[in-house]
Structure 1
């Protein structure tokens, strides 16, 4: 495997930099590619790069297993990517679901996942506590070299080319470490210290969300539908405010349910909401027999930001490539992030593998510069529609009208499930698929 990588290996700065002699083993602090962050995007990228024969250093600031704020729900899009990584769902810790249960406007509607050739017909739930560890295990088995408790602090910039050629990091014992590679991939989450250090900052014209969640011991822990509540009321002020977002109840299968909510920044009250108290008030109104009471709570209420719709660009610049939350790849329609992080990781790995096979720096750079266009072709139109959707649901009157008159229409809601979850067949789909695919193609990426 390493022999193949050496055949393709070549520097992006010069034809001799970072390239060891063919008969000399590469130092442990050098690689073909450095991936910063071992969440779903980073581990998936590392897996596919290693599978292609490239030498990959995967740097993670924490150690596994570790806590991560998430709803823990995986749609069929994510299941497809897990299957591509060879992960089995027959082991303990997975619970399958058949679709989405929507509650709002006095309506309770169960919608099964669409029957498609492109995606499996089921979703999954598994806590992030060990989900990420499963992915990183696949990456290391494929050949990636993992360094835990390695906190990347800054890029190493080549003065002549003004390109990133490595990173500095703080090691497990507080030591300063230096790692070098001709290409670095930022998979370091929403804050993405590495992207900021390279001058790639967040865009203010993209939506942002906040999610909070906790776990409750509950008899609903084996629920085989993901459950979404579409009416979230903030009753903390002088008047009731209907917030843009939804609450969720996802059975984890281990005796607990993941219960949380996500809110978008499309209303003026976004910054004034106490999200943890909002979750408390929401669960206090649940049926007592569900067990969503403080005495059944397992772990604190934790929150995280949701960067959406490509809120950090460009996705490739000067030797740095962005994947996952670092590139703001969460779906604005439904707040789903893992599927898109893993899909983008696979696209990124494919681009990098093709670039490494080119004979010189100019040709390699041309291939790498195609990555933003490939992402735009895949998601640009859809994310533009998602931003329109975010603005619409930021209008409380629209939300009231939609829940009152839209939810009772099962055909309409089946269409919306496909649209919001981005689940269509590109070629052999039904009329709904053709409409959604047509909208995505006609809508310009911005």
Structure 2
């Protein structure tokens, strides 16, 4: 270690992405300093679902041997409810090499598991310290840090930004905050004495909250994480906060109310912002790279972020390993990280972004709700559709697999609306979709134009990614790709089904 450096790598943010990267890097022989403005263990507002692919990553870090890990709650099924009606409940699909279950682990516990693994591997953790600025040069990065004892400076060979959706590193690297259209907002609360199955993830859609969705994820012992998330930008704009919508759904949604009939709120309802993936924004520059939420690696379709945080932490470490050995931090040497993110994630993110842009048009909410019901009905009748729906939701299958069912679903939903129009159905929600669209467009033509522009941009991005994917011949499912195979063997999970 050159005495001119305080560490080979400084990581701003000790959440799952940062702590995972620190653990991998120190095992590879690098010296690492982890900075975080909080003191651990600390809470982090999240849905808490850790999918099968993420469990593989945790095992590669040694988390499955941590005290208390085996007691975290296992979930094997997912259920969909629309306007209080139960439409489908299915086990997670079986994917070779992956466990047939997920876990719901509160972030207060999960993040501490991963940070302890980084500490055991040799990373130096500096709590109550936050990055305020950095300056990258040809041979180092100088990092300005604020702490309770006053500001100080650290010097490293590489800086990694893992400091969440409001990342200071991302803002400094990109020169601005993320655009509003990339932002989601969500609220979450914990409840005790929750009724119903403890191994089932529930997702609730309703006209009053669409395009947001509500979830109930059991954390074990009759407790559950209950929350609601939605895009910040919708058209027409919504005037309720996720916390308000969540409280309303708890009263109005029959299925959710049934599970919370005798439940007690533990703590308070908390909110937080999410930044979703934007391919136009850089995730690295010079000796600085972004991982996890700081890079916007959140799927806007299902809100999945933990899996991508753990993956990107490992990808960053694997890219940096040869750079640290050869002292080559050139753009060419660091490029494999950005290339890996693009090749493994950009196509799926493009599809998810287009779907979210479409359903952000609240003037067409009756159509989207009908399409969701049609999709659930098709899943009841067709095992492959059910497999795709549950697999995409659980993060086991790539979002682009939904292409196989979306087209037919939308055609069937539109035919239903046409039939209602011809038979003279009453009620605003039964009117043809064009009625709602024309009415709202007349009220806000500028907003409608922005929505069309965003749809066009999302469509072009998806088309370009589909073309690149076809040229590469990369048609494998995400779960079968090398990106999801960690340093440790995955075979041990194939037949495991803990009680």
Would you say same fold, with TM above 0.5?
Answer: yes
Aligned residue in 2 for 1:94: 72
Aligned partners of 1:440 and 1:40: how far apart in 2?
31
C-alpha deviation, 1:336, in angstroms: 0.7
Q: Secondary structure at the match of 1:121?
A: coil
Aligned residue in 2 for 1:215: 190
Contact 1:72 1:258 in 2 (8 A): yes
Aligned partners of 1:204 and 1:433: how far apart in 2?
27
Aligned partners of 2:181 and 2:342: how far apart in 1?
15
Aligned residue in 2 for 1:237: none
Q: How many corresponding residue pairs?
A: 401
1:374 corresponds to 2:347: no
C-alpha deviation, 1:49, in angstroms: 0.6
Contact 1:214 1:297 in 2 (8 A): yes
- Pair 435,274 (structure 1): closer, same or farther in 2 beyond 3 Å: closer
- Pair 75,371 (structure 1): closer, same or farther in 2 beyond 3 Å: same
Aligned residue in 1 for 2:107: 128
For structure 1, the 5+ residue unaligned runs are 1-5, 7-18, 21-25, 235-242, 426-431
Aligned residue in 1 for 2:456: none
- Pair 442,273 (structure 1): closer, same or farther in 2 beyond 3 Å: same
Higher deviation after alignment, 79-88 or 278-287: 278-287
C-alpha deviation, 1:312, in angstroms: 7.2
- Pair 184,419 (structure 1): closer, same or farther in 2 beyond 3 Å: same
Structure 1 residues 30-429: aligned runs within 5 Å: 30-88=6-64, 91=69, 93-104=71-82, 106-158=85-137, 161=138, 165-171=141-147, 173-202=148-177, 204=179, 207-220=182-195, 223-231=198-206, 233-234=208-209, 243-265=210-232, 267-270=234-237, 272-285=239-252, 286=254, 290-291=259-260, 296-310=264-278, 313-358=281-326, 360-362=328-330, 365-395=331-361, 396-410=365-379, 411=382, 412-424=385-397
- Pair 361,328 (structure 1): closer, same or farther in 2 beyond 3 Å: closer
Aligned partners of 1:299 and 1:250: how far apart in 2?
17
Aligned partners of 1:385 and 1:280: how far apart in 2?
31
| Displacement over 6 Å in runs of 4+ | 432-436
- Give the TM-score, by structure 1 length: 0.82
More helix by share: 2
Aligned partners of 1:230 and 1:361: how far apart in 2?
47
Q: CA RMSD in A?
A: 3.0
Aligned partners of 1:91 and 1:356: how far apart in 2?
33
Any idea what the Cα deviations from partners look like across 1:277-331, whole Å, max 9, x if unmatched? 11111112356663467x8211111111111123672111021100011110001
Contact 2:136 2:287 in 1 (8 A): no
Q: Secondary structure at the match of 1:329?
A: coil
Contact 2:94 2:100 in 1 (8 A): yes
Q: Secondary structure at the match of 1:44?
A: helix
Aligned partners of 1:404 and 1:40: how far apart in 2?
35
- Pair 296,371 (structure 1): closer, same or farther in 2 beyond 3 Å: same
- Pair 68,422 (structure 1): closer, same or farther in 2 beyond 3 Å: closer
C-alpha deviation, 1:152, in angstroms: 1.6
Contact 1:206 1:387 in 2 (8 A): no
Contact 1:50 1:143 in 2 (8 A): yes
Any idea what the Cα deviations from partners look like across 1:343-386, whole Å, max 9, x if unmatched? 11111110011222225454xx4221232111100101111111
C-alpha deviation, 1:256, in angstroms: 2.0
- Pair 246,358 (structure 1): closer, same or farther in 2 beyond 3 Å: same
Higher deviation after alignment, 400-409 or 380-389: 400-409
Any idea what the Cα deviations from partners look like across 1:167-186, whole Å, max 9, x if unmatched? 11122x33112111011000
Aligned partners of 2:402 and 2:321: how far apart in 1?
32
Aligned partners of 2:215 and 2:280: how far apart in 1?
27
- Pair 202,444 (structure 1): closer, same or farther in 2 beyond 3 Å: farther
Any idea what the Cα deviations from partners look like across 1:169-221, whole Å, max 9, x if unmatched? 122x3311211101100001111112212335455496421110111112338
Aligned partners of 1:64 and 1:232: how far apart in 2?
39
Contact 2:50 2:307 in 1 (8 A): yes
Contact 2:205 2:214 in 1 (8 A): yes
